[in-house]
Every structure is written in structure tokens, then in C-alpha cells.
Amino acid sequence: MDDKIKQLKDIIDESENIVFFGGAGVSTASGIPDFRSADGVYNQKLNRNLNPEELVSHSYFQHYPEDFFDFYKEKLVYPDAEPNNCHLGLAKLEEEGKLKAIVTQNIDGLHQKAGSKNVYELHGSTERNYCTNCGKTFDADYVLNADGVPICDVCGGVVRPDVVLYEEALDPNVINSAVNAIQNADTLIVGGTSLVVYPAAGLIDFFRGKNLVLINKGETIADNKADLVINDDIAKVIGEATGIE
């Protein structure tokens, strides 16, 4: 086992209240592209003169719903994706009572699919959808199978994903729970996030515990604050450190 992964394993062994804070890099090994890596959505030819942040903004959804859903269905929803060893390892740590919460910026629902229970989804989930008129809820397939803009089968309103679009506020209850979990953690493992999307990225400043671990393929602005930095594939690192692989 790599020296740094062994150090992570030792930290996990000695910790009693671990919180994991993650982003899109957690799911790249499941075949879901992140936004900012070389092969991420930002660097793909989108055939549109807009960047992904504009394409998944509230104003774009309101003014160009057809184009919004084209992009959303093509680039943001992956119904066949399966959890990788990062998701599975974290679920195992929760089952063992060591990990108390996952705070995620991801919208893919893969932590729950892996078996994790206490997951705070800062940016919502593509698994949940609701009618903007009457509030009726729908699953991901309803939106994916709709021809163009999904329409409510009860009232004819537009059905939208329960995800936080750019220009929209985060759910204060989810933020409070996430802050609370991070403040009480003895170890915070941060992984697969570029830490540039605020306010989510600012949550790690609430950590007051003993071990701050950063796992990312590249450098992040928080590297200098961390007790352990591992620049490697997070599915491999968490998988090995938790005995999944």
C-alpha cells in the first residue's frame, strides 16, 4: 500500500467522527464527467456559445427551457452510472459507525445508491423532480423520457429537477446540517472537488477537528491547510484505505 494511503488508513482507524466533503471528482470513475478537468464538461465542445454555468442557470431555464433540458439530459443525468470504490468505501465507514455524514456537491445520487444514509446534497439531486406549478413529484425517468420540456401529467406545469441552478440559493436547512456535521467532526476528508464553487467550497472553513485530508488529482487552494494531501484517483485511494479493494 502506498505510504500516503497507509497514513489515511491510520487516520481513519484513530477517528471516531469522520465527515466527507466531496465534489464531481468522486463520480468520474463512475463515468460521469466533472466540470473542470481536461475531459470535463467545461472543455467539451458544447455547440453553444455559452459555458455550462450559464446553461444550468435559473435565467436560462426560465427563458430557454427546451435548450436547458437538451443540455441537462445530455450532460448532467446518468441513470446507468454505478457507485465506484469511493462511494462504496464511504458507505462502509458509515456502516461501521466511523463516518457520520457525507456533504456532497454532486447531484447524481450515487452515495445513496452505494448505501450511504446521512448525505447532505448541497446542490440537490437529479433523482428528484417536481412540477413548478402544483408541486407533484416525479422520478428521473419521467424527465429523461419526456419529449423536450417535461410537463406535469396533472396540471400541465413545467417539471424541473430538484437541483440548485446557478443564481439560485442553497437550502438553508441542508447548509445548517452540513455545517453542524463539519464542526463536530474529528476528521474531515475533502475529495474530488476543485473548491471553486461557492458557497459550498467555504464550508470546509468550519472544520475545527484534528485531521484535514485532501484527495484530488490536482492541486487545490486548500492544500496548504491540510494535514495530508493525496494527489491520486479518489476511487483508488478511498477503496484501498477502507479495504474495499
CB of 56 to ligand NAD, least distance (A): 8
Rounded least distance, CB 25 to ligand NAD, Å: 2
21 vs 207, beta carbon nearer ligand NAD: 21
Choose among 190, 218, 193: nearest CA to 204.
190
Residues forming a β-bridge with 115: none
Contact residues toward ligand NAD (CB under 6 A) are: 23-25, 27-29, 32, 34-37, 40, 105-108, 123, 192-194, 196-197, 216-218, 233-235
Toward ligand NAD, which CB reaches closer, 36 or 98? 36
Cell numbers placing 231: 494527489
Separation between Cα atoms, residue 128 and residue 119, nearest integer Å? 15
The answer to whether the peptide bond before residue 199 is cis (omega within 30 degrees of 0) is yes
Which residue stretches of the chain are H helix? Answer: 3-14, 52-55, 58-63, 65-75, 85-95, 110-114, 140-145, 172-184, 234-241
Tell me whether residue 76 or residue 101 sits nearer to ligand NAD (CB atom). Answer: 76
Active site residues: 123
Rounded CA-CA distance 148/145 in Å is: 9
Q: How far is the CB of 118 from ligand NAD (least distance, A)?
A: 18
Residue number, 23 or 83, with CB nearest to ligand NAD: 23
Q: Residue 131 CB, nearest distance to ligand NAD (Å)?
A: 23
Tell me, rounded to whole angstroms, the distance of Cα 20 from its chain centroid.
Answer: 11
Cα 150 to Cα 129: distance, rounded to the nearest angstrom: 10
**Residue indicated by cell numbers 445530455:** 74
CB 235 to ligand NAD: min, Å: 6
Which of 18, 215 has the CB closer to ligand NAD? 215
